[in-house]
Amino acid sequence: MTRSCPPLALLALTAGAFGIGVTEFVIMGLLLDVGADLHVSTSAAGLLISGYALGVVVGAPVLTVVTALWPRKQVLLALMAIFVVGNAACGLAPSYGLLMAARVLAALAHGTFFGVGSVVATRLVPPERKASAIAIMFTGLTVANILGVPMGTWLGQQAGWRATFWAVAIIGVVRLAVIALAVPADREAPEPADWRRDLRVLGQRPVLLGLATTVLGYAGVFAVFTYIAPLLIERSGFSAKAISPILLLFGGGLVLGNLVGGRFADRALVPTMFASLIGLLVVLVLLAPLLASKMGALVAVAALGFAAFATVAPLQMWVMSNAGGAGESLASSVNIAAFNLGNAIGAWAGGAALSAIGLGAITWVAAVFPLAAIGVALLATRDRTQEVFA
């Protein structure tokens, strides 16, 4: 393999991540259009987001186990094919129920793609650059938020929401071809599949604690981000039209935090994991005073994006390292599901705080989650230290 192959293969994985990121998030900007066309309420249309998250949570472990004997490149190609079919089905869906089913189908590829893709990415680089490789792949997801989602929303508003899903399906076909050409075939034959062994690895205490850290850390992010628009409007005094441009700061923070988190995790994984979680906790604690002014709010939005994705590569590598080689692919995929579970829990907790106390309580409730994540991570590292010196 030439020296240029690993970066090219990583770019192929990044391109696939971009397409998946667009299809996950673009529906947020098209809820009103979808609801009006299919004659359902906006809240019902919003369940299309929940349906996608459910597809990720279910699809990640199931497809990883089913494809355990397949070469990883073949798995990635099959997942992109599912992605294409699911988005094409979204474009064709004549009813709300069939659109929901198509969204779930497209989501099945999400967790396993990022899980298996993380493993493939770490195989393309030297050992000291594994976390950076994961971060590069996840850059596709962050760029999807900055460029893909606004462009997809604009296309849907101009040509109809179905056009957006057709465009994403076409993107998927291109990404499939790029992965086929750029990602090298496995050098080694897959180990014999043993789903019972993989589940035993998944059930080990260090892996479970790693997954719990991911869930809790990301719950804090989405407890706030789900309600960022009302926070910026009611607490900071921005107009509704200003929200989209402000969110570009969030997207820029995502990209930068993702790359920085990956780079430092390569140098010192455990310290970086703790530093990223502590940083997230500090940002969430400071959100309340920062949101009291417009300038402070702009700083807060960018800082939240940075802190949110600075945790991704360290948490992904932490779970993979706890699983070891035997259950690495399954643990990696399930950790992607853990991120999505954290999203759902955080959104629920933020909504509960809003209903029970008010908008001002959301940031404080959100801060509880990374604090709990730090506690769980401390427990996990203590266990590992005791094993070393036992």
Confidence at residue 98, expressed as pLDDT on a 0 to 100 scale: 94
Q: What is the mean pLDDT of residues 359-374?
A: 92
Within 10 A of 194 (CB to CB), how many other CB atoms are there? 14
pLDDT in tens, 249-276: 888 888 899 889 888 988 888 999 999 9
Confidence at residue 332, expressed as pLDDT on a 0 to 100 scale: 77
Q: 59: which residues sit within 8 A by CB, 6+ positions away?
A: 107, 108, 109, 110, 111, 112
Q: What is the mean pLDDT of residues 26-37?
A: 79
Confidence at residue 283, expressed as pLDDT on a 0 to 100 scale: 95
Confidence at residue 186, expressed as pLDDT on a 0 to 100 scale: 66
Confidence at residue 175, expressed as pLDDT on a 0 to 100 scale: 84
Confidence at residue 388, expressed as pLDDT on a 0 to 100 scale: 38
The answer on pLDDT for 210 being more than 80 is yes
pTM: 0.76
According to the 3-state scheme, what is the secondary structure of the chain?
CCCCHHHHHHHHHHHHHHHHHHHHHHHHHHHHHHHHHHCCCHHHHHHHHHHHHHHHHHHHHHHHHHCCCCCHHHHHHHHHHHHHHHHHHHHHCCCHHHHHHHHHHHHHHHHHHHHHHHHHHHHCCCHHHHHHHHHHHHHHHHHHHHHHHHHHHHHHHHHCHHHHHHHHHHHHHHHHHHHHHHCCCCCCCCCCCCHHHHHHHHCCHHHHHHHHHHHHHHHHHHHHHCCHHHHHHHHCCCCHHHHHHHHHHHHHHHHHHHHHHHHHHHHCHHHHHHHHHHHHHHHHHHHHHHCCCHHHHHHHHHHHHHHHHHCHHHHHHHHHHHHCCCCHHHHHHHHHHHHHHHHHHHHHHHHHHHHHCCHHHHHHHHHHHHHHHHHHHHHHHHHHHHHHHC
Residue in 72, 77, 112, 87 with CA at minimum distance from that of residue 330:
112
Output the six-digit token pair for 29: 């900007």
pLDDT in tens, 300-345: 999 999 999 899 889 888 888 877 655 667 787 788 888 888 877 8
Output the six-digit token pair for 200: 């035993």
In CATH, which superfamily holds the domain spanning 194-390? MFS general substrate transporter like domains (1.20.1250.20)
Torsion region of 273: left, alpha or beta (phi above 0 gives left; psi -120 to 50 gives alpha): alpha
Confidence at residue 1, expressed as pLDDT on a 0 to 100 scale: 39
Q: Pick the range with the lowest mean pLDDT from 151-160, 263-272, 381-390.
A: 381-390
Confidence at residue 272, expressed as pLDDT on a 0 to 100 scale: 93
Confidence at residue 216, expressed as pLDDT on a 0 to 100 scale: 93
The answer on pLDDT for 387 being more than 50 is no
- The letter for the amino acid at 5 is C
Q: 227: which residues sit within 8 A by CB, 6+ positions away?
A: 350, 351, 354, 359, 362
Output the six-digit token pair for 230: 């009302």
- Domain 1-190: assigned CATH number: 1.20.1250.20
Q: Pick the range with the lowest mean pLDDT from 96-100, 145-149, 158-162, 319-323.
A: 145-149
The answer on pLDDT for 4 being more than 60 is no
Per-domain residue ranges of the chain:
1-190, 194-390
pLDDT band at 284 (very low <50, low <70, confident <90, very high): very high
The answer on pLDDT for 370 being more than 80 is yes
Residue in 349, 344, 360, 353 with CA at minimum distance from that of residue 230:
360
Terminal-to-terminal C-alpha distance of the chain:
42
Confidence at residue 390, expressed as pLDDT on a 0 to 100 scale: 41
Q: What is the mean pLDDT of residues 49-59?
A: 81
Q: What is the mean pLDDT of residues 236-253?
A: 82
pLDDT band at 33 (very low <50, low <70, confident <90, very high): confident
Domains 1-190 and 194-390 share a fold: yes
pLDDT in tens, 69-92: 788 888 889 988 999 999 999 999
Confidence at residue 23, expressed as pLDDT on a 0 to 100 scale: 83
% of the chain beyond a pLDDT of 70:
89
The answer on pLDDT for 298 being more than 70 is yes
Compute the distance between CA of residue 81 and CA of residue 221 in angstroms, rounded to an integer: 31
